A and B are shown apart, each in its own frame.
Chain A
Amino acid sequence: MSDPAITPELVRQHNLTPEEFDKIKGILGRAPSYTELGIFSVMWSEHCSYKNTRPLLKTFPTKSPRILVGAGEENAGIVDIGDGLAIAFKIESHNHPSAVEPFQGAATGVGGIIRDIFTMGARPVCAINSLRFGPIEGGGNAANNRRLFAGVVSGIAHYGNCFGIPTIAGEVYFDASYEGNPLVNAFCLGVLRHEQIARGAARGEGNPVFYVGPATGRDGLAGAAFASRDLTEESAGQQRGAVQVGDPFMEKLVCEACLELLATDAVAGIQDMGAAGLTCSTCETAARAGTGIEIELSLVPQRAPGMTPYEIMLSESQERMLIIVRAGREDEVKRIFDKWDLPWARIGQVTGTGQMVVKHNGEVVADIPARKLADEAPVYHRESSEPGYLKAVREFSLTSVPVSADPAADLKLLLAWPGIASKNWVYRQYDHTVRAGSVVCPGSDAAVLRIKGDSLPLGPANGSVVEKYIALTVDCNAAYVYLDPYEGAKIAVAEAARNLACAGAVPLGTTDNLNFANPHNPELFWQLKESVRGLAEACRFFNASVTGGNCSLYNQSPNGPIDPTPTVAMVGLIEKPAYITTQWFKDEGDAIILLGDAMDEQDPMRGLGGSAWLQCLHRLKTGSPPRCDLEKERQLHNTLRGFIACGLIKSAHDCSEGGLTVALAESCISQQIARETPRLIGANLDLSFAVTEGARLDALLFGETQSRVIVSVAPGDVVKVVERARILGCPAVKLGVVGGSELTIKAGAWEGKWPLAELHDLWWNAIARAMA
């Protein structure tokens, strides 16, 4: 079969501009071959090259004394957690594949991120995820949204459960902007010793290059390029073949075999074949080492007959790894991979030429300077302009919104609103207890994982590992980001850091997933630019440097762009197991204290801008979102952690969607003892202190003023906590007492009373009811 001629039309189909094509010709000193064109198109896609976002990403704080491998250096960042131990973690999107084929799209998203972690030499020990879909209640498009939601959740469950990794935290949102373009962001964390860090570099001229893992097929052809375009119905249909098929069984074996091999010191470099498959892994490893690499495609194990060089180089078949072995140590690769019954093949060697040379039956089909291909993709400084809709957002005022006639009914509606309702329908499908390390399971502000000897890859001294406790959370209220990208992005970071503080943790680092729409649209690019400004500022503030992440642009369906969604996953360290704190009230008679302000008097929207209350009760997604004063926020976290360290805090729960009242209700109903067995514990509160003449009660109850946490303390500790908090500059006020079988809230002349069993049923079963 002969290759097609390189025409302007073919170049366009490869998503390359005429200028980019000229640049390719400049690099090669000639026109590219068909295979080379394919290679450039995937390597220079947004997914692989960050060509539209690189200038923005440079503004993130990426250094800290704890960071051992920084953002962009390798497949994942690595952070020191003390005692010679480190964690590798990263989040990555699989949005477009999941839109087309939710089960496999989500499953391979999990598989890809797990590979990124064990490629670093770390043992993957937990997963979390952030998901977004269109609304799932009612008829019409909701049926398709439910299909996507159910498919994605079962895909994640299938892959993670079989691999044997606990999926211990996450978030799920539903909004019309995600209809047709759901978001699936998967995160994985692994553990290793400092000296076990592996590099994705093709070091050592003459070292053999091995391919390990299952054979290459035509699945997932050019997925990276697919992910870097707008999603249309037509493209979804055509691109079904761009979705890979995952095999978690194979991944488990490849992971164990790779960790076993890495323990032998026979490996000079290792990289997974993820996006852009063999292409990306060969040119990136050579570029990192400053070497060249030469491979022979006829040696690559192939699943389909008659595959062309173009297809082999661009295939995204799953669970494959590229390993550069120290010359003379080849037998160790063979021994270990034979033990695991895994295919392996020696397909080439490292050279000193700096060229990526691809041969097929001896004939050269690609010959490209590796570094120029991997590192010199064009960089675009896109135009940006403030979106027109923001004027109306800023002008929106509460005068047009009727004051709630029945706040007691509003709380019930909010608890059953899928964005707020318990996500147990999701996480009960994920194995979240495997590996015997899940100390706080899904359902509290942050999950807590114990790290112990067997969390590490094979090593000589795993018996003497000092146990560690880390907290994980992933957050982003995209409605806020839509209404004010800078402030909303700051809040995403602040909320993540607050959730960690509530669990008793200090932030170690952040990985972010920038899910945005088409960057060629200046208004949409403005959202991205402003969000990155907010993220960078807030990450710097909380000492939570960015260790890596992922950009997913072109998230829009024919209905329009998604809400800008910079998902923030943050990992923290809990110094002592005694500090681990959960969100639910513990004992009758404990005092309930609000740390933070009852309301932000400077906010004309009183915390209701972009709130769940406005969205759920009035179907309005507008108004300026609450402000986040980072200094105040940090004060809150430090105060809370200080109290936790003194043993004063029995529970801590952050106020987010639904405000104070939802946070209080969740503190009463969110502890689950076992199947069908919640532990319900009531509370009696008086908010009258915050009621002022003419002020809106709904804003006090459901406003989402930032920088607030509900804590409970032993009755004898109230004075100590309130006074010390004030000295530390953190507002604190006692709201009431834990106990009884009802939630009772008094505010001036108004009183709300709810039986807990009813609130729990609404909150716990809402999503299962919508999905039934």
Chain B
Amino acid sequence: MNFAILQFPASNCDQDALHVVQNVLGQSGRFVWHKENSLAGMNAVIIPGGFSYGDYLRTGAIARFSPIMQAVREFAAQGGPVLGICNGFQILCEAGLLPGALIRNRSLQFRCEHVFLKTATHQSPFTNKIPAGKILRLPIAHGEGCYFADDATLDQLEKDDRILWQYADANGQLTESGNPNGSLRNIAGLCNEARNVAGLMPHPERASENVLGSADGRLIFESWINWLESRMTQAA
């Protein structure tokens, strides 16, 4: 599969994403500069973490206007899968491709630590290969990761089965203490109505190799590749 990894000025998890795509998953991938305006030939898009445009004004607020985001909109509208990680999630919310917003952590401080995630649904390109009941252990690293939306939106997300991951404790319970940033309904990641665009605050690309203490993130990428391959088979 051919992965596009977007590069905004001050993206800083771009290399990590490419490393996992190429060296861990054995797929092909390339960086796509924010001034480019085409995603031709790409099967999948990763919007990596970082501080795009310095996160001035608001996280992700400037990135949404970059030329490449127009191409991402078109790619997504045609059903192409897009995953936003951390700052990438913030950009997708700012761009209106995902509902809600990510606001400052409840602690008002940046938080870097490992968290436990419960996979709330397996019906998505990004969760289909995660074993039932498996609790993922992934690192977070953000100052603005508190997921916020109005009650009607949250209810709709639940009704549509669009919440992908929720912060939990080691046993998968959705506790207050397992929630690192105050996200409403412990939401760590979700997808759009068409289910092909998703975002999450934790970093699967930093937890895809045993040497880094957790390879749970790999399950997310493997789900994605599985979905891409079955879609190709169907098309053929």
Contact = CB atoms under 8 A, between A and B. Distances in A.
Given A162-B55, A249-B56, A435 B15 contact: yes
Given A433-B141, A435-B16, A577-B211, A253 B169 contact: no
A490 to B, nearest CB: 35
Given A249-B51, A674-B115, A439 B212 contact: yes
B54 interface: yes
A677 interface: yes
B13 A428 contact: no
Contacts of B212: 433, 436-439, 450
Given A433-B203, A450-B211, A249 B170 contact: no
Please indicate which of the listed interface residues A431, A435, A453 has the most CB atoms of chain B within 10 Å of its own CB: A431
Nearest to B35: A339
A154 interface: yes
Interface in A412-457: 427-439, 441, 450, 452-454
A673 B9 contact: no
A252 B12 contact: yes
Contacts of A434: 12-13, 16, 49, 141, 206
Nearest to B52: A249
Nearest to A467: B211
Contacts of A253: 9-10
A441 B114 CA distance: 11
B19 interface: yes
Nearest to A425: B109
Given A162-B55, A433-B112, A676 B15 contact: no
Interface centre among A164, A433, A454 (most CB of B within 10 A): A433
B181 to A, nearest CB: 10
A488 to B, nearest CB: 33
A750 interface: no
Nearest to B18: A454
A248 interface: yes
A673 B143 CA distance: 21
A676 B169 contact: yes
A648 to B, nearest CB: 21
B19 A162 contact: no
B205 interface: yes
B65 interface: no
B50 interface: yes
Interface in B198-236: 203, 205-206, 208-209, 211-213
Interface string A366-395: 000000000000000000000000000000
B50 A164 contact: yes
Nearest to A437: B212
A677 B170 contact: yes
A436 B19 contact: yes
Nearest to B11: A164
A187 interface: no
B162 interface: no
Most buried by A among B13, B112, B113: B112
B116 A340 contact: no
Given A428-B111, A676-B178, A247 B54 contact: yes
A341 B54 CA distance: 13
Contacts of B180: 675
B19 A341 contact: no
Interface string A155-196: 001000111100000000000000000000000000000000
B188 to A, nearest CB: 12
Contacts of A247: 54
Interface in B8-57: 9-10, 12-13, 15-16, 18-20, 23, 49-51, 53-56
A432 B112 contact: yes
Given A430-B112, A431-B110, A162 B10 contact: yes
A447 to B, nearest CB: 13
Given A249-B56, A675-B115, A341 B9 contact: yes
A161 B139 CA distance: 14
Contacts of B211: 439, 450, 577
A450 B56 CA distance: 32
Given A454-B15, A676-B178, A154 B109 contact: yes
B118 interface: no
A123 B103 CA distance: 32
A453 B54 CA distance: 26
Contacts of A441: 213
A702 to B, nearest CB: 31
B112 A674 contact: no
A441 B112 CA distance: 11
Contacts of A453: 19, 23
Given A432-B112, A433-B112, A454-B19, A673 B170 contact: yes
Contact of B139 (A164, A249, A433): A433
A429 B112 contact: yes
B114 A249 contact: no
Contacts of A673: 114, 137, 170
Contacts of B78: none
Interface in B97-152: 109-116, 137, 139, 141, 143
Contacts of A577: 211
Nearest to B203: A433
Contacts of B53: 249
A439 to B, nearest CB: 6
A256 to B, nearest CB: 9
Contacts of B141: 161, 431-434
Given A247-B54, A436-B205, A454-B18, A675 B9 contact: no
A438 B15 CA distance: 14
A444 B115 CA distance: 19
Contacts of A429: 109-112
A699 B54 CA distance: 53
A436 B20 contact: yes
Nearest to A580: B211
Nearest to A435: B16
B9 to A, nearest CB: 6
Interface in A658-715: 672-677
Nearest to A341: B9
Given A433-B141, A438-B212, A157 B110 contact: yes
Given A435-B15, A436-B206, A454-B15, A674 B109 contact: no
Interface string A322-363: 000000000000000000110000000000000000000000
A433 B206 contact: yes
A675 B206 contact: no
A439 B113 CA distance: 14
A428 B115 contact: no
B10 A674 contact: no
A428 B54 contact: no
Contact of B113 (A163, A435, A675): A675
A444 to B, nearest CB: 12
Contacts of B116: 674-675, 677
A225 B59 CA distance: 38
A162 B113 contact: no
Contacts of A157: 110
Contacts of A249: 9-10, 51, 53-56
22 contacts: A161-B112, A161-B141, A164-B50, A249-B56, A341-B9, A428-B109, A428-B113, A429-B111, A429-B112, A431-B110, A432-B112, A433-B203, A433-B212, A434-B13, A435-B16, A436-B20, A441-B213, A454-B19, A673-B137, A674-B116, A675-B177, A675-B180
Interface of A: 154, 157, 161-164, 247-250, 252-253, 340-341, 427-439, 441, 450, 452-454, 577, 672-677
Interface of B: 9-10, 12-13, 15-16, 18-20, 23, 49-51, 53-56, 109-116, 137, 139, 141, 143, 169-170, 177-178, 180, 203, 205-206, 208-209, 211-213
Given A162-B54, A252-B9, 12 more contacts: A154-B109, A154-B110, A162-B10, A249-B9, A249-B53, A431-B112, A431-B141, A434-B13, A435-B15, A436-B16, A441-B213, A452-B19
A-B complex: 6 closest residue pairs judged by Cβ atoms = A164-B12, A249-B54, A674-B114, A436-B16, A431-B141, A454-B15
